[in-house]
């Protein structure tokens, strides 16, 4: 396997609902990535595209739509969907393709446009698509699943409402310094605690909404391109995980979960992160900054444990002691996290990797982590989808 480097990244800033076309957002991100890498479009030998599930035929073939904008060159185009870990899958395929020598330079991208209204069931067939059951019978939007887990955690580890609110305070502080974030207001603890419950114990400011955004990375093993790139970033490992039997977490869209755990919580992410540690020869102790999926304040806490940054039940202490701050033991979500961005399904995992790369390249201005050497991006997707990417300079 060859060493693979990120040489170009591009983001279309996150925003709310849009009437514009997803491919136009994708083209902005990809155009910026090409410019950052200082390469021509014709250098791209493989395209791994995140599927935009609300985009119909176009969204399912997002790679073809993107390719035609820049000019069709006949290279392999693969479109992939793994829920919120879609971007992880695209990056992993681009990495594998280059590492194996199939292509020298590959592009991974994702673009999502937030549709108007609520996202609910995508079919009407309850036998085939169990997601229909939770919408018609149990009235459980996604945050309900997080709230059910958060309540269990609070009972087990004495998590306080202040802990949950403090996560938003931190995330909004960083988000206010990130020009690509959608939400740029910094909140006080009091303001978060005064926001309404959506599904208690989770409040409005403690869960993330759906957004529009696009992100693209260019990876290469071409020595000439690496040499002339501005601070190339090595990908030490990029992995995917699925759930393990006996995982006690109630997964989004499921109606039941095991009562007796036989596997770690969020085992898809446990699995993805442990694979990445094994492949990279690195562990949490080596990581200077971590981008984790803070879909809610509960996620922020539990993911520190799932990824092995502390023992079970110790995340609140890490938070309270400032160990997760920029300047602390591990800087967690210096981007402002999902809390400041919102979810853009196929793009978000790529944006997390870009934040890691940008931090390692020292490009993050007022939210810059001091001299980081190793960064990790961790995703979470519904029904057992997760990806981990470890990068270094």
Partner 1 sequence: MGNTKNMVARIPNLVDWSTGEVRLMSAKCNSCGTYFFPKEHYQHRPGCSREGVEDGLLPNKGKLASYTVQYYPCPPPFKTEKNITPYGIGLVEFENEKIQVAGIITDTDLKSLKLGMEMETTTLTMFTNEEKQEVVTWAFRAVK
- Residue 69 within binding range of partner 1, rule CB under 8 A: no
| Structure token digits, residue 266 | 């969020």
- Residue 140 within binding range of partner 1, rule CB under 8 A: yes
State whether residue 78 is helix, strand or coil: strand
Q: Which is nearer to partner 1, 92 or 153 (CB)?
A: 153
Q: Which residue has the tokens 């090409």?
A: 34
Indicate which single residue of 127, 190, 224, 366 sits in contact with partner 1 (rule: CB under 8 A): 127
Hey, how many other C-beta atoms are within 10 angstroms of the C-beta on 62? 29
Indicate which single residue of 6, 94, 99, 132 sits in contact with partner 1 (rule: CB under 8 A): 132
Residues in 144-163 that interact with partner 1 by CB under 8 A: 144, 147-149, 151-152, 155
Binding mask 179-198 vs partner 1 (x if CB under 8 A, - otherwise)? -----------------xxx
Q: How far is CA 251 from CA 65, 121, 215, 311, in A?
A: 32, 15, 27, 22
Kindly write down the DSSP assignment for every residue of 163-199, as one continuous string: HHHHHHHHHHHHHTT-TT-S------HHHHHTSPEEE
- Directed axis angle between helix 161-175 and helix 297-306, to 10°? 90
Q: Which helix (H) or strand (E) holds 50?
A: strand 46-50
Residues in 295-334 that interact with partner 1 by CB under 8 A: none
Of 79, 157, 135, nearest in space to 254 by CA:
135
Q: Provide, rounded to whole angstroms, the least separation between the CB of residue 117 and partner 1.
A: 7
Indicate which single residue of 19, 56, 57, 124 sits in contact with partner 1 (rule: CB under 8 A): 124
d(CA 39, CA 24): 20
- Residue 17 within binding range of partner 1, rule CB under 8 A: no
- Residue 117 within binding range of partner 1, rule CB under 8 A: yes
- Residue 254 within binding range of partner 1, rule CB under 8 A: yes
Q: Provide, rounded to whole angstroms, the least separation between the CB of residue 206 and partner 1.
A: 13
d(CA 307, CA 311): 10
- Residue 207 within binding range of partner 1, rule CB under 8 A: no
d(CA 253, CA 244): 17
Stretches 81-89, 125-133, 166-174, 209-217: which one binds partner 1 (CB under 8 A)?
A: 125-133
Indicate which single residue of 102, 230, 255, 320 sits in contact with partner 1 (rule: CB under 8 A): 255
- Residue 116 within binding range of partner 1, rule CB under 8 A: no
Q: Provide, rounded to whole angstroms, the least separation between the CB of residue 165 and partner 1.
A: 17
Kindly write down the DSSP assignment for every residue of 203-246, as one continuous string: EGGGB--B-EEEEEEEEE--HHHHHHSSS-EEEEEEEEE---TT
Indicate which single residue of 141, 283, 284, 308 sits in contact with partner 1 (rule: CB under 8 A): 141
- Residue 118 within binding range of partner 1, rule CB under 8 A: yes
Kindly write down the DSSP assignment for every residue of 15-30, as one continuous string: ES--SS-HHHHHHHHH
Q: Which helix (H) or strand (E) holds 89?
A: helix 86-99
With vertex at residue 103, the alpha carbon angle to CA 100 and CA 104, rounded to the nearest 5 degrees, is 100
- Residue 126 within binding range of partner 1, rule CB under 8 A: yes
d(CA 46, CA 75): 6
- Residue 256 within binding range of partner 1, rule CB under 8 A: yes
Binding mask 74-113 vs partner 1 (x if CB under 8 A, - otherwise)? ----------------------------------------
Indicate which single residue of 101, 137, 365, 371 sits in contact with partner 1 (rule: CB under 8 A): 137
Residues binding partner 1 (CB under 8 A): 117-118, 120-121, 124, 126-127, 130, 132-141, 144, 147-149, 151-152, 155, 196-202, 245-246, 250, 254-260
């Amino acid at each position: 396997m060859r060493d693979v480097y990120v040489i170009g990244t591009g983001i279309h800033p996150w925003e709310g609902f849009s009437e514009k076309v997803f491919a136009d957002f994708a083209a902005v991100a990809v155009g910026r990535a090409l410019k950052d890498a200082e390469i021509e479009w014709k250098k791209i030998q493989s395209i791994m595209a995140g599927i935009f599930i609300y985009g119909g035929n176009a969204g399912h073939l997002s790679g073809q739509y993107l390719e035609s904008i820049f000019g069709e060159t006949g290279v392999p185009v693969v479109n992939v969907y793994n829920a919120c870990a879609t971007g992880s899958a695209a990056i992993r395929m681009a990495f594998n393709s280059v590492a194996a020598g199939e292509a020298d330079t590959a592009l991974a991208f994702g673009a999502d446009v937030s549709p108007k209204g609520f996202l609910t069931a995508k079919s009407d067939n309850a036998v085939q698509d169990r997601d229909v059951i939770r919408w018609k019978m149990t009235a459980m939007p996604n945050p309900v699943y997080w709230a059910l887990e958060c309540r269990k955690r609070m009972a087990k580890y004495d998590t306080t409402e202040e802990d949950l609110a403090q996560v938003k305070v931190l995330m909004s502080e960083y988000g206010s310094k990130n020009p690509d974030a959608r939400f740029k207001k910094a909140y006080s603890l009091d303001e978060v605690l005064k926001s309404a419950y959506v599904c208690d114990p989770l409040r409005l400011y403690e869960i993330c909404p759906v957004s529009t955004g696009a992100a693209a990375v260019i990876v290469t093993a071409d020595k000439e391109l690496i040499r002339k790139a501005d601070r190339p970033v090595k990908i030490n490992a990029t992995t995917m995980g699925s759930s393990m039997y006996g995982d006690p977490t109630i997964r989004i869209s499921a109606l039941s979960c095991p009562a007796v755990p036989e596997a770690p919580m969020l085992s898809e992410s446990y699995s993805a992160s442990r694979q990445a540690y094994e492949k990279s020869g690195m562990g949490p102790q080596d990581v200077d900054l971590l981008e984790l999926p803070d879909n809610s304040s509960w996620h922020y806490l539990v993911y520190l444990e799932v990824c092995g940054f502390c023992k079970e039940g110790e995340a609140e202490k890490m938070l309270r002691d400032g160990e997760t701050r920029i300047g602390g033991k591990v800087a967690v979500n210096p981007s402002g996290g999902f809390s400041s961005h919102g979810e853009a399904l196929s793009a978000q995992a790529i944006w997390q990797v870009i934040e890691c790369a940008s931090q390692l390249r020292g490009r993050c201005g007022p939210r810059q982590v001091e001299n980081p050497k190793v960064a990790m991006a961790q995703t979470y997707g519904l029904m057992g989808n997760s990806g981990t990417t470890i990068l270094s300079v």
